[in-house]
Amino acid sequence: MGYFVTVEPGVKLYVEDINPAGSKTIVFLHGWPLSHDQFEYQFDVLPGMGYRCIGIDWRGFGKSDRPYDGYNLERLADDIRAVVTALQLKDFVLGGHSTGGAIAIKYVVRYNGGGVSKLVLIDAAAPRGFTEENAAQLLKQTLNDRANMMLGVTNIFFFRYITKPFSDWFNQMGMEAAGWSTAAVIIMLRDFDLTSDLTRIQLPTLIVHGIHDQVIPFRQAEEMHRIIPHSRLVPFIYSGHGSFYDERDKFNQLMQEFIGAATG
């Protein structure tokens, strides 16, 4: 089921809550400039394994409200905290893809765990996001031809072949975001550095990263693994930036193994 949660006056986030009766909860944070829908092929499978799966659209993206401001890691982490509090979530697994991984890191550090029992970083944009050069190019494209920018992102996102209908669906997902939020997060990705935050993570952490990632290079996953105390790095050798789809069967099985068995 889907519903909206107020995170500050005038701003509501869309939440997709699948199998609320599941014995263990996984909260998914999508990547830029997508929505919770990117995890369709997890939501199709993991609830059947007994998990409660929650997808949250950040402000400005997907079905959530689209205010003009608030696009920094601290505010985005605070938004997640508001949802966690409203849903009274405890002892849950937090999984973040790409920029969602950066938000997940900021959340667990800012809130001293914040009820998270295990952390999953999926092709995460950490310790850093975009280079100044890449950010400048993406920002120019976003402000002049956002549809073409999104097509370019799709073209380098996956390692395995995707069909044209899948590509069209993926592009449309990115276009659901506001143009201003898409641009603001590019600037955020250009400017942050989470190196010091990584040293403060004390949770069991699974790092999943495609070795062919053209968005966030695999070397950054290796750097995270060196810095995060209790981390495990699993390279996905047939994946690009979309390991959750490129090797979805392996990904879903790995999630089950890392989180622990749940009764269906």
Catalytic residues: 98, 213, 241
CA-closest candidate to residue 61, choices 217, 226, 167, 183: 183
DSSP string, 152-169: HHHHHH-SS---HHHHHH
Three-class DSSP category at 43: helix
Q: Which two tokens stand for residue 245?
A: 């789809």
Bridging pattern class, strands 205-210 and 116-122: parallel
Q: Give the whole-angstrom CA distance, residue 51 versus residue 256.
A: 9
In 3-state terms, what secondary structure has residue 220?
helix
DSSP-assigned states of every residue in 126-158: -SB---HHHHHHHHHHHHH-HHHHHHHHHHHH-
Handedness of CA 185, 40, 147, 240 (dihedral sign): positive
Q: Environment class of residue 51 by beta-carbon count within 10 Å: exposed (0-12), middle (13-18) or buried (19+)?
A: buried
d(CA 239, CA 210): 4
**3-state SS assignment for residue 104:** helix
Please choose, from the candidates 52, 97, 100, 98, the residue with its C-alpha nearest in 3D space to the C-alpha of residue 80. 100
